[in-house]
Structure 1
Amino acid sequence: MSLRRITATLLVASALSLAGCSSPDPIEEIPAFAVDSPDVNLISNGEGDKQQLVYAFSPQESEIAVNYAANHAAVATDKVNAEAPTGEGLEETTLPLSVSVVDGNVAEFNTDGFRMRWHMDVQGQVEEIKLLPPDGSSDETRATTERALLQIMSTNPVFPVEPVGVGAQWSVKTRTLGDTNMLRTTTYTLTSRDGDTVTLDVQVQEEPAKKTLELDDGNKLTAEDWSTTSSGTITVDLTKLLPTAGENTATTRTVYAGPNPDFKVVQDMTTATTYKK
C-alpha cells in the first residue's frame, strides 16, 4: 500500500466530508484498505503457566512519539559499509491519541481530528483500515500524520494464538505500509507477565520488498546487500490496544548496485516508536 495512493484517497475523503454526505458519520463513506495478513510463527511457548495473549477493546488515552527517516547517497564501491548504523539523534513527532471502540473489533484512533479505524482480531492482526483527515488540513499535514499512524499500526504487537508463558518467542512476518516498502520480520520474546501487563523484547530484521528499482532514465538499481540494527522493549496492558511504555527502533541499510560499477547507492531507513503513556 503506497503512501501516494492513500493520500489521494484522503483527498477524496476530505471532499466527501466537505460536501456533507448523508451519513451522520462521514468515515462510514470512506473505502476501507485491506491489510495483508501477517505470518505468525510460534518459536517457543515458554515456561510455567501458559495463557493466551489477547487484546481487550476498551477506550484509551495515549501519547506516542514516532520517527521516520530515509537517507540515500552514492558511495564509492570500495568505501561501502554494508552494516546498518544505529539510528541516533532522530527528530520525534509526538501524537496524542484518543482510542475509542466503534463496534465489536473495530477501534478508532483520533489525533487532532485525524481519524483512523482498524478492524482487527484479538491477537492484534489488522484486517482493514480507514483514514479520514480533518477539514482544511494541508497535504503536508495529511502525509505526515498518515505516515505516523501507519507506523504505529505496523509496529503494534501481534500475538500467537497458542497459550504462552514467560520466555515464549514468536516471529511476525509482514510487509510494511507507506513509503518504506520493506518485508519485516519482528521477533518478540515474552520477558515477564503480571496479570494483564506483559513485557516484550522486540528485535527486527528487514529486507527490501522490491529487489530491483527502475530509474526514470531506464537504468536499474539492484539490491545486493542489506542489514538491520534494532532494539526494543515495550510494555503492553492487555486491556488496551496500544503499548503503554517502552520503545522499538530499527534502521535498515540497503546497498544497491547500478550501471556504474565504481559506485553503489546506499539507503538507510529508520523507524522509531516510543510509547509515552
Structure 2
Amino acid sequence: MCAALVATGCSQTSADQSADEDPNDRIAVTLPVPAANVVVLNPGAEPRTQLEYNLEFSSTSEHTVTARSTISQVLGDDPEQDFSRPEVTMPISARVGGGNAAGNNVTLTVGDATSPDNLVNESFGDAAGSEATIRMDRNGSVQELTLSPTEESDDIARESLEHAIFQTVYGVVALPSEPVGVGAQWLVEQPIVSATEILQSTTVTLRERNGDVIVLDISVEQKPTLDFFDIPGAGRVLIDSFDSRGSGSITVDLTKPLPTDGNVDVRGEQQYSDPDSGFRVRQRTGMSLAWTTD
C-alpha cells in the first residue's frame, strides 16, 4: 500500500483528544483511493431520478463500523498458518466540511474502538480522537483518504485503524450519474490496492427507495488483471488460480456520508507458484464489513 507522509493540521479537536495535544503536531498518512468507473446495466422502473449525496455543511452523523479481514496460508506441504487481522469495531462521528458542486470533505473521528484481541484492544486506549479525512464526490466516489492518528497511538493501534478505515472507505458505493428507478442495476469497477493488480467489480441493485434513504443489494467479484505479479527482491510469482466473491446489502441515507446499516462479506481462495521451482502457496481470504447507526 503506497503512503505519503506529510505534516498537516486537523480541522478540529476531538472531545476525546488530550487537551495537551496540538493537532498540528500530528503526522498524517495520505493513501490513494483508485478511481471507480460506474456503468448502468439496467435503469430500473419509472419514475427514475438521479441518485446523489446531499451533504449539509457542518452536519454530523454517528456510525458504528465493524471490519474484519482473514487470511490463512499454506506454504508447500507445511501446515496452514493464520495471518488474520483481529476484528475492529469503530464508533465514527462523520462531520461534513467544506466543498463545492462536485463534492465535500468529510472528517471521520474515531471514538473508543474495540477488538476481541486483547493486545489490539489495549492499544486503542490512546487512539480515541484519531481522524480520517475523505474527499467525497456527490456520487459517493472517494478520491483520497488522509489518516491522522493521535500522537499517543502506538503502532498496533495505527495499523489496525488504518486497515479498518481503508476497508470502510471501500465500502462506500459509488452511484450512477444517470437517472435510475427501483430495480436498477449498475456496475462499479475499481482497482484494489494490493501486491498484485486486482479489479473489484461490484454489481449494485437498487432494491428500495424512500426519499433520501435507499437500500442496495451488492454482489462483489475480484479478479487479477494479470496472471503474475512481481515481488521486489524476490522475483516473479505466477497466479495459478484466483477466486474471490461475496455479497451483502446496505442502507444508505443520501444526507449522510457513510452507510447507515447493512453488511458485506467477501471470501476467496488463491494459489500462487514459483515459475522456476514450482513451489506453491495456497491462501484463503475473507473480508467483512458491518454498519449500524447510533
Q: Could you say whether these structures have the same fold, taking a TM-score greater than 0.5 normalized by the shorter chain as the test?
A: yes
CA distance in 2, matches of 1:164, 1:28: 43
Deviation at 1:211, TM superposition (A): 3.9
Residue-by-residue CA offset, 1:151-205 (whole Å, 9 max, x unaligned)? 1001211100011001100111112246786321111001111111111111101
Kindly indicate whether residue 71 of structure 2 is the aligned counterpart of residue 70 of structure 1.
yes
CA distance in 2, matches of 1:92, 1:29: 25
CA distance in 2, matches of 1:166, 1:233: 15
Alignment of 1:31-180 (within 5 A): 32-57=30-55, 58-74=59-75, 92-104=87-99, 105-111=104-110, 112-177=128-193
Kindly indicate whether residue 212 of structure 2 is the aligned counterpart of residue 196 of structure 1.
yes
Distance 1:28 1:204, change over 3 A: same
**RMSD (Å) for aligned C-alpha atoms:** 2.8
Amino acid at match of 1:99: A
Amino acid at match of 2:40: L
Kindly indicate whether residue 263 of structure 2 is the aligned counterpart of residue 247 of structure 1.
yes
Deviation at 1:139, TM superposition (A): 1.1
Higher helix share: 1
Structure 1 contact 190–198 (Cα < 8 Å) conserved: yes
Identify which of 237, 243, 250 aligns with 1:221.
237
In structure 2, stretches of 5+ residues that fail to align are 10-21, 78-83, 111-127
TM-score, length of structure 1 as denominator length: 0.80
2:158 aligned counterpart, secondary structure = helix
Aligned residue-pair number = 250
Distance 1:137 1:91, change over 3 A: closer
Structure 2 contact 26–151 (Cα < 8 Å) conserved: no
Quick one: higher RCO (CA 8 Å, sep 6+), 1 or 2? 1
Distance 1:242 1:126, change over 3 A: same
Deviation at 1:64, TM superposition (A): 0.7
Q: Comparing 29-38 with 182-191, which one deviates more in the overlay?
A: 29-38
CA distance in 1, matches of 2:208, 2:168: 23
Report the identity percentage. 28
Deviation at 1:212, TM superposition (A): 2.4
Structure 1 contact 180–269 (Cα < 8 Å) conserved: no
Identify which of 268, 271, 274 aligns with 2:287.
271
Distance 1:227 1:32, change over 3 A: closer
2:5 aligned counterpart, secondary structure = helix
Structure 1 contact 151–177 (Cα < 8 Å) conserved: no
CA distance in 1, matches of 2:25, 2:221: 35
Residue-by-residue CA offset, 1:125-145 (whole Å, 9 max, x unaligned)? 112222111011111110110
1:49 aligned counterpart, secondary structure = coil
Deviation at 1:75, TM superposition (A): 5.3
Residue-by-residue CA offset, 1:44-93 (whole Å, 9 max, x unaligned)? 100121111111224210001011122221357xxxxxxxxxxxx99631
Deviation at 1:225, TM superposition (A): 1.8
Q: Which residue of 1 aligns with 2:24?
A: 26
Identify which of 2, 5, 18 aligns with 1:9.
5
CA distance in 2, matches of 1:37, 1:9: 21
Structure 2 contact 35–141 (Cα < 8 Å) conserved: yes
Structure 2 contact 28–149 (Cα < 8 Å) conserved: no
Structure 2 contact 69–285 (Cα < 8 Å) conserved: yes
In structure 1, stretches of 5+ residues that fail to align are 15-23, 77-88
CA distance in 2, matches of 1:204, 1:27: 40
Structure 2 contact 196–229 (Cα < 8 Å) conserved: no
TM-score, length of structure 2 as denominator length: 0.76
